[in-house]
Structure 1
């Protein structure tokens, strides 16, 4: 089966309205999906259980970074797993973009492939989110060093070598900057690929505010000082 060596990791927190549809859409392209229910208070786990995705549950909410690490650890233990996709649960990401990114990794051009909203279609990004994302890049030395255009895109592809060495310690949203920092300090080849984000009314309610963006930078500064 195509993409049998790919595992899609979806962190889930209170996404009962959309998660089953997201999973089924992803599985049309990628048969192997693991959802990490991060202590949801709604019926997210039950919706996932009704699909053919693998389900791992956190008994309490630990944060998206923790959910991603749990999912990557689970996927790494699956036989034949070579490529790992991180994918949001709110319906913003497109499986066809993920598939193109996997092909870049398969070609040997990159060990890590990061999706970017700004390489081709920045005009489709809501202005407040665009401001937050540009601020994060501008204030992040590692993002500037790597010349990234979109340091906080949740759509990523890692080779097995990258996934085995990546250990996410920032449980909350600051994990995205932690991943960029890890890649910047490594010898891995990193490529950005343009992707389209589907900003629905539902997904917009899940986005990061400007204050949260500043909080992410503050959390990272405290970690770096420690």
Structure 2
């Protein structure tokens, strides 16, 4: 029998959770199920699981998958003897077969300090469009924005070593964004990731999922939204000051430098503390950031100057807009990989 604790967050689960849990008990000694505020209508399911030997943690009201997982992890930290071999999180909708859960457990035993992800293949016909699209987008987005390269960013089948549980307990997010925020914390804390390939299963086209593609995607991609807000706010300041300086007689290059100088400190503060949450040396990061400001400003000023000469009918303040959009992508990549990187 495997020693890892199986954690199953469940909100208004299907009856199929009962036989799934029974099957899991054939391989694992302990199962912890979180009743995330399902109410009286679903109480009989959790009663059956309790009678089967599962530990039940109950929320009075629905609080979301992230909070449910953190409640389970908190239980483990208060009762460490049950989770010393690590924990494996499993979805309640039947996506994760007991054989695949065992594969994750085996990988944990071979890599005791790693986080193990059970990763699905998304090129099969039985994958619902929203899951295929969601994972495809999130893979590319998280590789570019966060430097995280995993084949299944949204998998709920995860093996977490006991040493990682305190980090997981502090991870931000109450709903589905918790799992993607966990990937950020894995990277920040330099924890290695091991992947195992699992069967791609969707019961009834994944109808039991409570994932909302619009609302939960906004939460998941919050880092991009934060960066966009910080950049747009700083760009607005930069743009206004550029217009004023240029109108007062400053040449394009000088007006660009003046505008950059005024907006850069605001942008640096927002990006360090809100977007990337950098924990490194602020003085070193600021020095690197100022170098980026000079380089970015020079490129912007050079591009606007030369494009204005090529297209004299278009005002420089108009030409500046597409130039800054291109630099937006350049600046983000440099800040993520070189300035606010977790590398020492």
Q: Which residue of structure 2 lines up, in the alignment, with residue 57 of structure 1?
A: 58
Aligned length: 222
Alpha-carbon distance, 1:218 to partner: 4.4
Moved more, 195-204 or 6-15: 195-204
1:79-94 to 2 correspondences below 5 Å:
79-81=81-83, 82-94=85-97
Tell me, yes or no, if the aligned pair for 1:143 and 1:151 is still in contact at 8 Å.
no
* Alignment correspondent of 2:104: 101
Distance between the aligned counterparts of 2:158 and 2:91, measured in 1?
10
Residue 211 of structure 1 and its aligned partner are, at CA, apart by: 2.0
Contact preservation (8 Å) 1:64, 1:171: yes
- Does residue 172 of structure 2 align to residue 174 of structure 1? no
Asked whether the equivalents of residues 95 and 203 of structure 2 are also in contact (C-alpha less than 8 Å), the reply is yes
1:26 to 7, 16, 24: 24
Matches for 1:73-152 after TM superposition, within 5 Å: 73-76=74-77, 77-81=79-83, 82-108=85-111, 111-118=114-121, 122-123=123-124, 124-141=126-143, 145-152=147-154
Residues 143 and 189 of structure 1, relative CA distance in 2, 3 Å threshold = farther
TM (normalized to structure 1)? 0.87
- In structure 2, list runs of 5 or more residues that go unmatched: 227-272, 278-344
Match in the other structure for 1:17: 15
Question: Alignment partner for residue 155 of structure 1, among 154, 157, 164?
Answer: 157
SS in 1 for 2:150: coil
Per-residue CA deviations over 1:122-176 (Å, capped at 9, x if unaligned) read: 3142233101111122222478623211111000001111123222330011011
Query: 1 CA distance for matches of 2:216 and 2:137?
Result: 8
Deviation readout 1:100-125 (Å, 9 max, x if unpaired): 1111111127510011113xx63142
Q: Give TM-score, length-normalised by structure 2.
A: 0.59
Q: How big is the shift at 1:29?
A: 1.2
Give the drift of 1:67. 0.2
CA RMSD of aligned residues (A): 2.4
| Residue 31 of structure 1: how far off its partner (Å) | 2.0
2:141, 2:110 → 1: CA distance? 32
Unpaired runs of at least 5, structure 1: none
